[in-house]
């Protein structure tokens, strides 16, 4: 083990140690139709120009602007151009072509007079408005040009990105493989939802919540279940992590007689980088390597596990996906109540955001901050951050916050 015992590591130092021990995973090639939510592993350059030719932005008549310098004017209709069925000829002096939105503007035409400004009598068209060159015409390449890079590596693809990639005529794309994160809870006191609950037992909510958190962060969560507080059970359940890119344990990370994660996994070769962080909640936090893969040991307390997942597990998944970790940067909001002086541990207060009458972002920490209160954590949409030894903060002061992803 390489850790220094009894050292409370600052939060940012702990995060840095974790990110040093994590690498981006390899790319895989998938259909653009299956790419929503995935992270690009390459820059995407368009294979086509869009639109490929000048097209009409409105229903109406394609004209030569030189023929429509006065209103009213009359032109002879010589054909029709529709999307997917273009007019094959050209527009000569004194001529016009009926055109529909998205249709290619015939050669010779350089403007569109909209349908509402015209009257038709057979092939004789009266135009009640003048036209200027380029009017209601979408020029070639208005949207993008062939070879233009429109989506960069590291982008998490939303529905608009996927639509754009398809519009660029890209059927297959390279994305970073989703990390497989094995989640293992420990404790004799834990039972699954729906099982009989003894007087000294509690529901195992953490493994379900952290597995869902991994999925929301872009990984693939693998819930290994519950290991009991004995070496044989822990070693047996650990076998389910084979093939995973990262192991996350929940509980067993403290110093009690039944907290066996460090000792049992140490026998299996766990090399611990650190096991205590100067934060509240979440001080007993383990990070190291096991079987050549990163291992993160979260506290067994439900809220502590959730907050440490936000601060440490999410950035680790970001790195494995090739995503920008800076997306978790702090911002500030105005306090709505006083806060006392802080002690030596960085504090993360479960809080809700709002707006004052001036429209400024406000933050209201919950009065009760007990780390066992899962209902409070569930209601929070941000964490108010209090630095170690921070002086008392007054209502109206600005304070750092970290938003909680509503998906996670």
pLDDT tens per residue, range 340-360: 999 999 999 999 999 999 999
List, by residue range, all CATH 3.90.105.10 domains of the chain: 28-50+143-176
Task: Kindly state the average pLDDT of the residues 245-249.
Answer: 96
Domain(s) labelled CATH 2.40.340.10 in the chain stretch across: 330-403
- pLDDT 10s digits, 75-117: 999 999 999 999 999 999 999 999 999 999 999 999 999 999 9
Pick the CATH number of 28-50+143-176 from 3.90.105.10, 3.40.630.30, 2.60.120.650, 3.40.30.10: 3.90.105.10
Q: For domain 11-25+178-327, which architecture applies?
A: 3-Layer(aba) Sandwich (3.40)
Omega before 51 within 30 of 0, i.e. cis: yes
pLDDT tens, residue by residue, 29-75: 999 999 999 999 999 999 999 999 999 999 999 999 999 999 999 99
Is the domain defined by 330-403 classed in CATH 2.40.340.10?
yes
Round the average pLDDT of the chain to a whole number and report it. Answer: 92
Q: What fold characterizes domain 55-138? A: Molybdopterin biosynthesis moeA protein; domain 3 (2.170.190)
* Confidence label for 4 from pLDDT (cuts 50, 70 and 90): low
Q: What are the start and end residues of each CATH 2.170.190.11 domain in the chain?
A: 55-138
260-309, pLDDT tens digit by residue?
788 888 888 899 999 899 999 988 899 999 999 999 999 988 899 999 99
- Per-residue pLDDT for 242 more than 60? yes
């Amino acid at each position: 083990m390489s850790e220094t015992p009894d050292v409370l590591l600052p939060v940012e130092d702990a995060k840095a140690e974790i990110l040093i021990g994590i690498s981006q995973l390899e790319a895989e090639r998938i259909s653009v139709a299956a790419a929503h939510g995935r992270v690009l592993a390459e820059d995407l350059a368009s294979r086509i120009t869009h639109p490929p030719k000048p097209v009409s932005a409105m229903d109406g008549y394609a004209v030569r602007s030189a023929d429509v310098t006065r209103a009213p004017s009359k032109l002879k209709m010589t054909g029709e151009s529709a999307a997917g069925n273009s007019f094959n000829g050209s527009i000569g002096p004194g001529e016009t072509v009926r055109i529909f939105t998205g249709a290619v503007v015939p050669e010779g035409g350089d403007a569109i007079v909209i349908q509402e400004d015209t009257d038709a009598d057979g092939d004789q068209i009266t135009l009640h408005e003048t036209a200027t060159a380029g009017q209601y015409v979408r020029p070639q390449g208005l949207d993008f040009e062939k070879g233009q890079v429109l989506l960069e590596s590291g982008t998490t693809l939303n529905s608009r990105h996927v639509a754009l990639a398809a519009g660029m005529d890209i059927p297959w794309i390279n994305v970073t493989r989703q990390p497989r994160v094995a989640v293992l809870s420990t404790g004799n006191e834990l039972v699954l939802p729906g099982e009989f609950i003894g007087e000294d037992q509690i529901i195992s909510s953490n493994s379900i919540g952290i597995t869902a958190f991994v999925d929301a962060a872009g990984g693939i969560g693998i819930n290994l279940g519950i290991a009991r507080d004995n070496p044989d059970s822990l070693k047996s359940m650990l076998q389910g992590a084979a093939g995973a890119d990262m192991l996350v344990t929940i509980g067993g990370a403290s110093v009690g007689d039944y907290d066996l994660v460090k000792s049992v996994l140490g026998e299996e070769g766990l090399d611990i980088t650190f096991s205590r962080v100067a934060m509240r909640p979440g001080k007993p936090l383990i990070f190291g390597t096991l079987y050549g893969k990163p291992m993160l040991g979260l506290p067994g307390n439900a809220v502590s596990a959730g907050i440490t997942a936000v601060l440490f597990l999410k950035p680790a998944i970001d790195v494995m996906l090739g995503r920008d970790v800076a997306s978790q940067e702090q911002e500030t909001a105005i306090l709505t109540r006083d806060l006392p002086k802080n002690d030596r541990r960085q504090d993360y207060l479960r809080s809700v955001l709002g707006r004052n009458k001036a429209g400024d972002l406000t933050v209201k920490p919950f009065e009760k901050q007990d780390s066992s209160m899962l209902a409070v954590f569930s209601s929070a949409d941000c964490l108010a951050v209090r630095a170690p030894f921070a002086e008392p903060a007054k209502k109206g002061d600005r304070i750092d916050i970290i938003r909680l992803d509503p998906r996670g």
